[in-house]
Structure formats: structure tokens, C-alpha cells
Amino acid sequence: MEKKIKIIDQICTFHPSFGTDKGWSEYTGGMKDSGMWYYRKMLAVPIDELSEFLDELKNPPQKEARVLTEEEKQLQKEWVKHGDIIINKLQLKDIEEFARERELRFLGLKD
């Protein structure tokens, strides 16, 4: 039990937004940035699962560097005014794709 408590203590040093998917924490972002870990819920979890989660927190998976195509390199050189900011067309394309993905997930049309 002591080992489990030490692992939970280490997990609780990280931001509580990391544990919301597992139901081990609560986090509200935005203007009222608040959150907390559910210590008792984690006590009911097997120590192997806690250790694995702690390892993921300590060593998050690294994203591979993006390799740009020739078309993307060209888009990166073209600038546009979008609202009050000036961005390149590649950034605008990425923003539009991100928004489209979120919208489809919200509508339940994509996982």
C-alpha cells in the first residue's frame, strides 16, 4: 500500500487535466482554471495501472517531425490576413482542418 501511495503522490504532482480521461481527476479550463485529483479513486486502481500511467506522464510519446510536401512549402510562403492576424496559407489550412475534425466529432460523424 505504501508503494501505491507514493505512485499516487507522484501522479498528483502533474496537472489534473491528464487524468480526466480515466476518471481520476476533474479539470475545468478557461477563465476559471481549476482542477483536482481523485485520490480515493486511484487507491482502488491496481498498482500496475497506476505505474503505467505515471510512466506515460513522465515520458509522453513524442510526435514525429512534420515533413512538408512541396505544395505545403509553397503554402507556407504565401501570407493572408485572417481576421486581425496575418498567417500563412499552410497555417490557415491546418486551422480549417482542425475545426472540421472537431465539428465532425461533435456531430458524431467521426470518432
At 15-45, the pLDDT tens digits run: 999 999 899 999 988 777 889 999 999 999 9
User: What spatial distance separates the first Cα and last Cα of the chain, rounded to whole Å?
Assistant: 38
Per the prediction, the chain carries an average pLDDT of 92
* DSSP classification of residue 111: -
Give per-residue pLDDT as tens, 79-92. Answer: 999 889 999 999 99
Task: Return the pLDDT at 31.
Answer: 77
* DSSP classification of residue 64: P
Among 59, 78, 76, 58, CA closest to 67 = 76
Domain boundaries, the chain: 2-58, 70-106
